[in-house]
Amino acid sequence: MNFFNKLPFETIKREILIKKKSETSEKYGCYPENRSIKELINYGITNLNKPAGPTSHQVSDYVKKILKIEKAGHSGTLDPNVTGVLPIALGRATRIVEYLLKSGKEYVCLMHLHKQVEEEKIKGTFKGLTGKIKQLPPIKSAVKRVLREREIYYIEILGINKQDVLFKIGCQAGTYIRKFVHDFGQKLKTGAHMVQLIRTKVATFTDKDWINLHDIKDAYEFYNGGDETLLKKCILPIEKAIEHLPKIWVFDTTVDSLCHGASLSIPGISKLDSNIKEDDLVVILTLKEELICLGNSLLKSEDILKNDKGIAVRVKKVFMEPNLYPKFKK
């Protein structure tokens, strides 16, 4: 049982390993925090607190209309009456949401038991439903209704008042909390239903710094009036969406070939995170911390560090546009 209320990526200790020191030229690229507001509007992400009522798709559409952009995409559906963290990627950044869809989530749930039972029995039932569980998706769901395994990383009871139980739950992507509550009631032999649900975490997006639709609308009005301060606080660089993944930083001379889909060779690496495993999904960044692409690691961190030749990462999806950095000349 995870007693520290941490999602899997938060339990991995990483340090940056230097393979070969290098400086980055100010002539190329741009530090994410220095991007213009126009760039962020079309290549950024918001940490939105979804209101109760509209669907996740409708909320995403509201953001698109407020900012007057062509595309916006959310990172995992919340039921209309469920509120909470709903990262929404903007413009060219929409392709990043699939990597948030697969990340761990955290919720705070109010459950009502159909009969009053002892607290110790409630605690014991929670303990029995922590770890790997089997779950059949509800009848109304976007996935095929077959029994599947999901992992509950942690559960913390926040309060018990007669038949009402307030708890925090960290779980694998694709876990249905309403179904979890139903199954909890079945296991307890009392019956139970979900009264209220708030999503408090998606990867590194949390309820600590979320914004609402009114914040975005007000910020955009100020922006139209010449003040972009508030809007810059509402829209984060796309790099926020991959903070939970292991990273590799490359030389300026390596960037352009990666933008054209080339695999990453060991000689192009300046530094990397420790604890990278084979086949891990890794982020490849410039030395200015710009997202270039994502790919699957073919080697462990220690093998990348000690070897001078070979392919380290097979590139899967490119985000940076080509020709922002110089082509490598032999």
For tokens 């590799």, the residue is 248
- CA 157 distance to own-chain centroid: 24
The residue length of the chain stands at 330
Is 291 in contact with 247 (CB distance < 8 Å)? Answer: no
DSSP H helical ranges for the chain: 37-42, 56-67, 97-101, 119-128, 177-188, 213-224, 229-234, 252-259, 301-306
Is 54 in contact with 302 (CB distance < 8 Å)? Answer: no
- The active-site residue out of 79, 207, 218, 303 is 79
For tokens 């020191």, the residue is 21
Q: Is 164 helix (H, G, I), strand (E, B) or coil?
A: strand
Q: Is 322 helix (H, G, I), strand (E, B) or coil?
A: coil
DSSP letter for 160, please: E
Q: What angle do CA 266, 270, 276 make, to 5 degrees?
A: 65
Is 155 in contact with 120 (CB distance < 8 Å)? Answer: no
Is 265 in contact with 258 (CB distance < 8 Å)? Answer: no
DSSP 102-166: TS-EEEEEEEEESS---HHHHHHHHHHTSEEEEEPPPSS-SS----EEEEEEEEEEEEEETTEEE
- Residue 79 a catalytic site member: yes
Q: Is 152 helix (H, G, I), strand (E, B) or coil?
A: strand
Question: For the chain, what is the largest distance between any 2 Cα atoms, rounded to a whole number of angstroms?
Answer: 75
Residues that are catalytic = 79
